[in-house]
Amino acid sequence: MSEAPNLQEIIGRVVRRERQERNMTIKELGEEASLSEIYVGEIERGQKYPSAKVLENLAQALDLELSELFELFAEELRGQREPEFTNAIGFTMPAGPGQPRRLVVKRIVNMLDEGDVESIADFSAFLLSKHISGIH
């Protein structure tokens, strides 16, 4: 049986990834969340457990709903158990390490022009055509 993931480390990893995706420094995130730069760094390194209020402040500073932040934590936890995901039409989702599947699917959907997808079947056909043409 594999070792249980360390929730503190997962919280830190997600906060760091979300901060970096927004091109924010630790100092900027701390200022936006009304937290010290040192405390944000400790959270990101998995050395501190943030309180509910701190999580609310971090979510707001990262322009996320608190529920979205918790969803990212859950996806990170699931990702440790399922490092690679193959979808029903037979190819691996274009995700890098630590990228939540929800964000990958959102990126794929954003590749479409409005009106391109009339149904789930059309979307599946679109994905399959991208796979066949070599664009994953």
Strand partners, 34: none
d(CA 55, CA 95): 26
List the one residue out of 18, 9, 12, 3 whose CA is nearest residue 100. Answer: 18
Q: What is the pLDDT of residue 91?
A: 45
Q: What is the pLDDT of residue 129?
A: 72
Q: What is the pLDDT of residue 98?
A: 54
Q: What is the pLDDT of residue 130?
A: 66
Sequence-ordered list of residues with C-beta below 8 angstroms from that of 45, at least 6 positions apart, any chain: 12
List the one residue out of 39, 119, 104 whose CA is nearest residue 15. Answer: 39
d(CA 30, CA 40): 6
pTM flag (> 0.75): no
d(CA 37, CA 29): 8
66: amino acid identity, one letter: L
d(CA 42, CA 15): 11
Q: What is the pLDDT of residue 77?
A: 84
d(CA 37, CA 17): 16
pLDDT in tens, the chain (136 residues): 445 568 899 999 999 999 999 999 999 999 999 999 999 999 999 999 999 999 999 999 999 999 999 999 988 887 765 444 444 444 444 555 555 556 666 666 666 666 665 666 666 776 677 666 554 4
Q: Domains plus CATH for the chain? A: 7-81 (1.10.260.40), 85-136 (no CATH)
Q: What is the pLDDT of residue 17?
A: 94
